[in-house]
Structure 1
Amino acid sequence: MKVLVCDAPGALRLAEAPDPAPPAAGHAVVRVERAGICGTDYHIYEGKHPFLQYPRVMGHELSGTVAVAGEGVDLAVGTRVVVNPYIACGRCIACRSGKPNCCVAISVLGVHGDGGFAELITVPAGNLYDAGPLPARDAAMVEFLAIGAHAVRRANAAELGRGSRALVVGAGPIGLGTAIFARIAGYRVALLDADAERLAFARENLGFDGTLLAGPEVGDAVAELTGGEGFPLVFDATGNTGSIEAAFAHVAHGGALVLVSVVRDRISFADPEFHKREMMLIGSRNATRADFDHVMDAIAGGLVPLDALATHATTLEGAAADLPRWAHEKSGLIKAIITVADA
């Protein structure tokens, strides 16, 4: 089979690899149809991922069809599936609590092990969800949207109420997905980013009228937009330490800050400011089956503008040149989709 291998930072090539062995019980071989390119993939290519061994076949935003089903697998051969790339142990405290998304020993396809920039991949059947009527491209976009849907579900625990204002900091793919699902949940959503082009995209293509350009005057802009009260709910999807620390100031008294992104650095904040607000600080990691199902239902209901989000396309062969280029040429880029195979 063909695979796209990152041999080392900056070294990407199309290669031949052996087809997977017959799957063990409870597993299936999936013929990959589409694969989204994630920020994680760009970081792996650029050598910025802290916990990765090369060579690596990247790719975790996947759709495909069941090619071979192992013993005990209910999915029929030929079924189109959405792949949940978060392989959990099923035994740790998080898994026993129904939170496999933060499994103690989690293994992510394309990061801790080889992923779906390949014609075939073996996956536990519990991580394969019947895509129903979704076409291959749309099914491959479910995973990154589920990250935002999960963050919004985590935020709902703050019980701030539908109709509350929400600020999403960061208008990349994860931030836009978070904003879309916050809007679906009934929040009045504003977006904050340092990139005026991305904010214009959010306004013109996704219908988000409240946009704020990051800069020295952003605090005044937040105050003007919220009547001086701040946002009851703030999501940070930037992966930037300074942005996360600045976001504390945008939270209203009694509000919550949800960290969708992750950084390697320590995060610091003024405890008196945090305490006087009695604010919540909520972590959000990956996604669960419930989030995948919610995204698929929202797509089927026409609530997610996938055509606007899928801005770039390539093939498995073309990605060897396109992915390195897109790592630097960000203008107009939201989500790039690789066509690996057609059913």
Structure 2
Amino acid sequence: MKTLILNTPGQFSYSDTDIDTSLDPHEVLIKIHRIGICGTDYHAYRGKQPFFSYPRILGHELGAEIIAVGDDITSLQIGDKVAVEPYLHCGKCQACRSGKTNCCEQIKVLGVHTDGGMRELIKVPASKVYPSKTLSYEQLALVETLGIGSHAVNRAQVQAHDLVLVIGAGPIGLSVIQFAKLKGAKVAVLDMNASRLAFCAQQLGVDATILLQNESPLDDIRQAFAGDLPTAVFDATGNPTSMMQAFKYLSHGGRLTFVGLFQGDVTFNDPEFHRREVTLLASRNALPEDFKSIIAAMENGTLDTRPWISHRIAFDQLIDTFDELLKPESNVIKAVIEV
């Protein structure tokens, strides 16, 4: 089967690989139809992704079709269209026993710690696929991205009375915006890219957009919230400067959630941190409940991700076009690979 391998930073190659199609009783064999490209893939390509080694088959945002099932599988059928939860957890560690499978101590994320879905076929545990009778493969490939935002918003316990600032209008930031809006909160988004901000205003209905033009956007943030500061800030940039500046934007008693990450240390002024009684949260991956609720919301029309797809790329053309996706002038919102 044709497989795309990231051999070293900046260097992809196609390979014809074999797969053992025999299945354990609780496994399924899936055919990949759509693959979302996310920040993790871009970071890996640039050599800036934590917890990563090469060579690696990328791809963890997957819309797929079941083509074989293990002997003990009764809830899934050949031909089912599915989204894939790419977080392979051990089921035994303290986090797993507490229901926090998203941050399992031995977690292996497809396309990050173990080979992912940039290939024609892959075997996964049946518990990691979520079927839909109505969603397209393209929609199913976006469920994992949405899960990141859903989990982050739930972690921060966002409610309708909250004032929410989302920093970073990439796909993860967009997913945070979607779920903060669904909670009924007032949402503003801060970014350096005017076209991304326009997308947030036109397609997601954010209450305010803030173009980062100087080192201190505090006055613009207050203006977006009628003089107040946000009660919940989400940094989805993975940029250390942005993440450390974010402490300054919070209201007293506010919550700061880091959705993005970088390879380094975060520092902040402790007296100011205490004076405001800030709650600092990390948000990692998503939970099974997120996948189920997102698919239901997409099926009933509450969530519409169709405007997100700005670029569609044939699998055979990805090597030739990947560098273009990294350029700001390409105006990528979300790129999807068609297999």
Aligned residues: 337
Q: Tell me the residue number matched to 2:184.
A: 186
Residues 170-319 of structure 1: pairs in structure 2 closer than 5 A:
170-214=168-212, 215-319=214-318
Q: Tell me the residue number matched to 1:143.
A: 144
Secondary structure of the 1:234 match is strand
Equivalent AA in structure 2 for residue 18 of structure 1: D
Q: Tell me the residue number matched to 2:77.
A: 76
Equivalent AA in structure 2 for residue 179 of structure 1: I
Question: How far apart, CA to CA, are the structure 2 residues paired with 1:315 and 1:131?
Answer: 24
Shift of 1:329: 4.8
Given that 1:312 and 1:337 are in contact with CA atoms closer than 8 Å, whether structure 2 keeps it comes out as yes
Given that 2:168 and 2:236 are in contact with CA atoms closer than 8 Å, whether structure 1 keeps it comes out as yes
Given that 1:20 and 1:29 are in contact with CA atoms closer than 8 Å, whether structure 2 keeps it comes out as no
Q: Could you list the per-position Cα deviations for residues 286-334 of structure 1 after superposition, in whole angstroms to 9, with x for gaps in the alignment?
A: 0011111121122123233312101110111011212232123553201
Secondary structure of the 1:178 match is helix
Question: How far apart, CA to CA, are the structure 2 residues paired with 1:22 and 1:3?
Answer: 19
Secondary structure of the 1:254 match is coil
Shift of 1:4: 1.0
Question: How far apart, CA to CA, are the structure 2 residues paired with 1:87 and 1:179?
Answer: 27
Q: Could you list the per-position Cα deviations for residues 252-296 of structure 1 after superposition, in whole angstroms to 9, with x for gaps in the alignment?
A: 111111111112211111112111222211111000111111211
Shift of 1:219: 0.8
Q: Tell me the residue number matched to 1:107.
A: 108
Equivalent AA in structure 1 for residue 100 of structure 2: K
Shift of 1:336: 0.7
**Given the alignment of the two structures, is residue 127 of structure 1 paired with residue 128 of structure 2, yes or no?**
yes
Equivalent AA in structure 1 for residue 185 of structure 2: Y
Gaps of 5+ in 1: none
Worse overlay, 83-92 or 24-33: 24-33
Question: How far apart, CA to CA, are the structure 1 residues paired with 2:281 and 2:133?
Answer: 33
Worse overlay, 178-187 or 9-18: 9-18
Q: Could you list the per-position Cα deviations for residues 27-51 of structure 1 after superposition, in whole angstroms to 9, with x for gaps in the alignment?
A: 1111111111111112222222233
Secondary structure of the 1:56 match is coil
Given that 1:81 and 1:139 are in contact with CA atoms closer than 8 Å, whether structure 2 keeps it comes out as yes
Question: How far apart, CA to CA, are the structure 2 residues paired with 1:97 and 1:133?
Answer: 33
Given that 1:45 and 1:324 are in contact with CA atoms closer than 8 Å, whether structure 2 keeps it comes out as no
Question: How far apart, CA to CA, are the structure 2 residues paired with 1:226 and 1:51?
Answer: 38
State percent identity of aligned pairs. 42
Worse overlay, 325-334 or 257-266: 325-334
Given that 1:20 and 1:121 are in contact with CA atoms closer than 8 Å, whether structure 2 keeps it comes out as no
Question: How far apart, CA to CA, are the structure 2 residues paired with 1:206 and 1:186?
Answer: 13
Secondary structure of the 2:67 match is strand
Question: How far apart, CA to CA, are the structure 1 residues paired with 2:162 and 2:320?
Answer: 44
Question: How far apart, CA to CA, are the structure 1 residues paired with 2:316 and 2:159?
Answer: 48
TM-score by length of 2: 0.95
Shift of 1:82: 0.7
Question: How far apart, CA to CA, are the structure 2 residues paired with 1:81 and 1:339?
Answer: 15
Q: Tell me the residue number matched to 1:51.
A: 51
Given that 2:50 and 2:262 are in contact with CA atoms closer than 8 Å, whether structure 1 keeps it comes out as no
Q: Could you list the per-position Cα deviations for residues 223-274 of structure 1 after superposition, in whole angstroms to 9, with x for gaps in the alignment?
A: 2233443111111101011111111111111111111111221111111211
Secondary structure of the 2:161 match is coil
Equivalent AA in structure 2 for residue 278 of structure 1: E
Given that 1:84 and 1:143 are in contact with CA atoms closer than 8 Å, whether structure 2 keeps it comes out as yes
Cα separation, partners in 2 of 1:278 and 1:237, compared to 1, 3 Å = same
Question: How far apart, CA to CA, are the structure 2 residues paired with 1:44 and 1:161?
Answer: 35
Given that 2:188 and 2:224 are in contact with CA atoms closer than 8 Å, whether structure 1 keeps it comes out as no
Cα separation, partners in 2 of 1:22 and 1:329, compared to 1, 3 Å = farther
Equivalent AA in structure 1 for residue 135 of structure 2: L
Worse overlay, 204-213 or 136-145: 204-213
RMSD: 1.5
Equivalent AA in structure 2 for residue 142 of structure 1: V
Given that 1:149 and 1:294 are in contact with CA atoms closer than 8 Å, whether structure 2 keeps it comes out as no
Q: Tell me the residue number matched to 1:36.
A: 36
Worse overlay, 302-311 or 27-36: 302-311
Secondary structure of the 1:112 match is coil
**Given the alignment of the two structures, is residue 24 of structure 1 paired with residue 49 of structure 2, yes or no?**
no
